[in-house]
Amino acid sequence: MVDKYDLTIYPCKLWVCTDFKEFKQRFRYRNSDKEIEDLQDDCHAVTYHLVEEKKTKGLGFAVIILSDLKTLGGSKIVEVISHEASHVATDIFAWLGIRLDVNNDEPYAYLIGYITSCIWKTVSKIIYKDKNGTDKD
């Protein structure tokens, strides 16, 4: 599954993916024909900086969920999601040349909150599926 989110005031997209093979088929590194490489790390999730969707040429950032987060428990899920959200927010600021300012970090904090919410929307689709594959109410 790949969900796409518009980052509103920032000129890029966020994709949250739960299938690494699908991600590799649909995306490439920006300005490159080089294929996305297989991951060597044993991690729960990973963030890709400035990828391009092959079909639409859309530019953005991708968070790949690599583990079954249902098995991690609530606090670990929050940790993984917020960790990846901070990578995306920092990457967006760096890409746009926006300097982080510890005396005025509200834009950064709001962006992390928004990205965390987007990632959660995708992750919750997996966590709250019942055994028949339908969403729980």
What per-residue confidence (pLDDT) applies to 114? 96
Q: Does residue 58 belong to any structural domain of this protein?
A: yes
**Number of domains, the chain:** 1
Chain segment 4-55, per-residue pLDDT in tens: 999 988 999 999 999 888 998 999 888 777 777 776 667 888 898 889 999 9
Contact between residue 57 and residue 36 where contact means Cβ atoms under 8 Å apart? no
Identify the CA nearest to 9 among candidates 89, 83, 86.
89
pLDDT at 129: 73
For position 17, what pLDDT does the model report?
A: 93
Residue 137 domain-assigned? no
Higher pLDDT, 20 or 69: 20
Q: Residue 125 in contact with residue 135, Cβ under 8 Å?
A: yes
Residue 31 lies in domain: 2-127
Question: What's the alpha-carbon Rg for the chain, to the nearest Å?
Answer: 15
State residue 73's pLDDT score. Answer: 77
- For 86: left if phi > 0, alpha if psi spans -120 to 50, otherwise beta; the answer is alpha
| Structural domain includes residue 20 | yes
Is 133 among the domain residues? no
SS3 75: helix
pTM, full prediction: 0.86
Q: Is residue 136 part of a domain?
A: no
